[in-house]
């Protein structure tokens, strides 16, 4: 009972060849009904289970895909992974998780490990735009391993991407704040090394210009996605000759930190100051002062990323389609940016 049984064991028992057993098990048509039934029955009795590893070695397909994210325990990423897992699992694939901790070394290390493990594809959200990563990413593409970026992408030939329209998200948020009557809108942005933050900022800027507002450099502060940084940014902004009366933040955590700091300073949100975040982290709607935020639909993004992978892997020829899917974000308007009487 403790032994692993193979097709040879069942072949021996039935005095037939392993090939026949294999055929019977795989529903091959060219086999007699009698022997098929015999094999199936024996397999059942002997508790036979296919060794996917051998199959993988033989076929060159491991039925595993690697997913690389900065941190698995950020709600956005765990949501994406959820979607990927749901979609891929029902298609017979398993998902291998790697965390890059936003570092390039870990990222490269993970890619190499996944490649050595013979994954059938790699779905990732890159840490930042660097050329060092290019080498290995190109290697991946050359090897013929489908590579797909989600959310945080990088332009690379032969690589499909699934993102949301960050520009649109930035534009919508800013337009909303303008509609609410805000006159001086600041922007707390993320790293300049990531496209998503550049795009959100562009959307912010364009919305300002389209409405006849001035774009002021000093209103844009770069932050990391941490609560403290939101508080610090508010401090900086209020030292300006003309402090803003609204913030569009590229991060919900930064938005939260900003709101907490404003409250500490006695500035009333949303009456005197409006705030919009990004990411629609669950906590934004739990707060007594719920925070307006842009939904990135993480689970959907994960599912679509998985689908793009499946399409690619199932595409007939050697020609790899380079697909660029762009989802439309949705701004959830909540209390933090809704003035009572405007």
Partner DNA sequence: CTGTTAGCGCGTTCAA
Partner DNA sequence: TTGAACGCGCTAACAG
Binding site for a copy of itself (CB under 8 A): 1-2, 4, 49-54, 56-57, 62-64, 71-73, 75, 78-79, 81-82, 85-86, 89, 94-99, 112-118, 142-144, 256, 263, 282-283, 286-289, 298-299
Instruction: State yes or no: residue 59 binds DNA (CB under 7 A).
Output: yes
| Structure tokens that stand for 60 in this block | 């060159």
Could you say whether residue 58 binds DNA (CB under 7 A)?
yes
Cβ-based neighbours of 175, under 8 Å, separated by 6 or more = 207, 211
Q: Which of 181, 128, 133, 135 is nearest to 151 (CA)?
A: 128
CA angle 103, 223, 263 (to 5 degrees): 140
Produce one character per residue of 308-337: b if its CB has 16 or more CB atoms within 10 Å, e if not: bbbebbeeeeeebeeeebebebebbbbbbb
Q: How far is the CB of 292 from a copy of itself (least distance, A)?
A: 15
Which of the ranges 56-64, 75-83, 206-214, 328-336 carries the binding residues for DNA, by CB under 7 A?
56-64
- Please say which residue, 3 or 288, places its beta carbon nearer to DNA: 3
What is d(CA 174, CA 205) in angstroms, rounded to the nearest whole number? Answer: 8
Cα torsion 19, 24, 26, 31: sign = positive
For the bound state, the minimum distance from the C-beta of residue 2 to a copy of itself, rounded and expressed in Å, comes to: 6
Contact present, 106 and 68 (Cβ < 8 Å): no
- Kindly state the smallest distance separating residue 219's Cβ from a copy of itself, in Å: 26
Nearer to DNA, 17 or 103 (CB): 17
Task: State the nearest-atom distance from the C-beta of 141 to a copy of itself, in Å.
Answer: 10
Q: Does 35 bind DNA (CB under 7 A)?
A: yes
Stretches 34-42, 180-188, 219-227, 305-313: which one binds DNA (CB under 7 A)? 34-42
List the one residue out of 264, 266, 295, 262 whose CA is nearest residue 278.
Answer: 295
Tell whether residue 130 is a contact of DNA (CB under 7 A). Answer: no
Does position 31 bind DNA by CB under 7 A? yes
| Site of interaction with DNA (CB under 7 A) | 4, 6-8, 15-20, 22-23, 25-26, 29-36, 48, 50-51, 54-55, 57-60
């Amino acid at each position: 009972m403790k032994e692993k049984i193979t097709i040879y064991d069942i072949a021996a028992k039935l005095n037939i060849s392993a090939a026949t057993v294999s055929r019977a098990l795989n529903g091959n048509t060219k086999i007699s009904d009698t022997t098929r039934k015999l094999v199936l029955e024996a397999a059942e009795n002997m508790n036979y289970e296919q060794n996917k590893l051998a199959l993988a070695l033989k076929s060159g397909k491991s039925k595993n895909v690697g997913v690389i994210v900065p941190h698995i325990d950020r709600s956005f990423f765990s949501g994406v992974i959820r979607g990927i897992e749901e979609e891929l699992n029902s298609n017979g694939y398993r998902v291998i998780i790697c965390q890059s901790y936003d570092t390039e070394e870990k990222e490269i290390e993970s890619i190499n490990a996944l490649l050595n493990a013979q994954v059938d594809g790699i779905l990732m959200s890159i840490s930042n735009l660097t050329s060092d990563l290019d080498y290995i990413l190109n290697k991946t593409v050359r090897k013929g391993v489908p590579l797909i970026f989600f959310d945080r992408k990088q332009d690379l030939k032969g690589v499909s991407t699934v993102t949301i329209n960050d520009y649109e998200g930035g534009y919508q948020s800013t337009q909303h704040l303008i509609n609410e009557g805000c006159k001086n809108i600041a922007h707390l942005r993320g790293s300049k090394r990531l496209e998503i933050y550049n795009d959100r900022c562009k959307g912010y800027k364009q919305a300002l210009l389209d409405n006849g507002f001035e774009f002021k450099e000093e209103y844009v502060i770069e932050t990391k996605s941490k609560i403290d940084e939101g508080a610090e940014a508010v401090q900086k902004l209020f030292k300006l000759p003309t402090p803003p009366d609204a913030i569009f933040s590229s991060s919900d955590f930064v938005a939260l930190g900003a709101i907490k700091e404003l409250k500490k300073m006695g500035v009333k949100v949303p009456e005197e100051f409006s705030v919009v975040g990004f990411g629609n982290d669950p906590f934004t709607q739990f707060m007594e002062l719920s925070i307006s935020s842009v939904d990135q639909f993480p689970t959907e993004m994960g599912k679509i990323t998985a689908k793009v992978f499946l399409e690619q892997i199932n595409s007939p020829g050697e020609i790899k389609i380079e697909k660029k899917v762009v989802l439309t974000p949705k701004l959830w308007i909540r209390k933090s940016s809704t003035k009572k009487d405007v």
